């Protein structure tokens, strides 16, 4: 699984950079936002607003805290380290990249939700993918691992689409958020696994 996620992360990052840097492809980015704006409905609007709250940093930190407390109850301390470094690393990566790339968000007329900071990468998409990847690795040996992967993949996908639907991000922002998370969490997982193996010898 780590190799597949690393490959997918690198592939999506490459696509997102093409969309960001090649002017001719910017039309696709804005076109996707405009298309979703024209096809909004009250029901989907409510879902997108709810996802905006659920995928924001405060709620993500709340979920992370509960998860770590659960891991502490079962004395899974290495998982606490993995989850904590993964989440806080993702937050740092998000805001550092936003600062240095400084990509403006889509025009304000498309906003369905309040936004903060620059557009690239999508923080909500990166945080959702981080939680998803962490769950996939933490429960790698769980009897229902495939079901967990399916649920997390759906969560990541829906969160990303909702950010474009809400007019808060371009598709390339979402792809970059996913890709950065896939790469970061996989590299962290491999590093921790190597550390555990070295300590067992």
The tally of domains found in the chain comes to: 1
User: Is-contact 58 116, C-beta < 8 A?
Assistant: no
CA nearest to 117, candidates 135, 105, 127, 126: 105
- Has residue 27 got a pLDDT over 90? no
pLDDT at 116 over 90: no
Highest mean pLDDT among 21-25, 41-45, 142-146: 41-45
What mean pLDDT do residues 1-23 have? 89
Question: In angstroms, rounded to a whole number, what is the distance separating the alpha carbons of residues 188 and 4?
Answer: 15
69, 77 in Cβ contact below 8 A? no
Annotate 134-193 with DSSP letters as a single string.
HHHHHTTT-TTHHHHHHHHHHHHHHHHHHHHHTTS--HHHHHHHHHHHHHHHHHHHHHHH
Residue 139 structural domain:
2-200
How far, in Å, CA of 163 to CA of 90, rounded? 18
107: DSSP letter: P
User: What is the overall mean pLDDT for the chain?
Assistant: 93
Average pLDDT estimate for 100-125: 91
What pTM does this model have?
0.93
Length of the chain as a residue count: 201
Mean pLDDT of 177-189: 96
Q: Helices 171-200 and 2-21 meet at what angle, rounded to 10?
A: 150
Q: Is the pLDDT of residue 157 over 90?
A: yes
- Peptide bond just before 121 cis, omega within 30 deg: yes
Give pLDDT tens digits for 57-90: 999 999 999 999 999 999 999 999 999 999 999 9
Q: What pLDDT, on the 0 to 100 scale, is given for residue 201?
A: 59
Look up residue 173 and give its two tokens: 């922002």
Cβ neighbour number for residue 75 with a 10 Å cutoff? 9
Who has greater pLDDT, 127 or 198? 127
pLDDT at 143 over 90: no
């Amino acid at each position: 699984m780590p190799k597949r996620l690393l490959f997918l992360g690198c592939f999506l990052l490459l696509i997102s950079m093409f969309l960001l840097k090649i002017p001719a492809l910017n039309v696709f980015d804005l076109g996707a936002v405009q298309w979703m704006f024209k096809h909004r409905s009250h029901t989907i609007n409510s879902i997108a607003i709810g996802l905006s709250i659920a995928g924001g940093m405060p709620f993500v930190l709340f979920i992370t805290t509960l998860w770590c407390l659960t891991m502490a109850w079962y004395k899974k301390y290495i998982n606490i380290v993995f989850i904590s470094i993964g989440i806080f690393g993702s937050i740092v990566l998000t805001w550092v990249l936003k600062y240095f790339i400084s990509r403006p968000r889509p025009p304000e007329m498309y906003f369905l939700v309040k936004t903060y900071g620059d557009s690239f990468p999508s923080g909500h998409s990166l945080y959702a993918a981080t939680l998803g990847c962490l769950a996939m690795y933490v429960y790698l040996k769980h009897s229902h691992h495939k079901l967990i992967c399916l649920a997390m993949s759906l969560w990541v996908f829906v969160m990303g689409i909702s950010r474009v639907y809400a007019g808060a991000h371009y598709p390339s922002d979402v792809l970059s958020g996913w890709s950065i998370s896939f790469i970061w969490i996989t590299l962290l997982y491999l590093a921790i696994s190597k550390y555990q193996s070295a300590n067992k010898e």
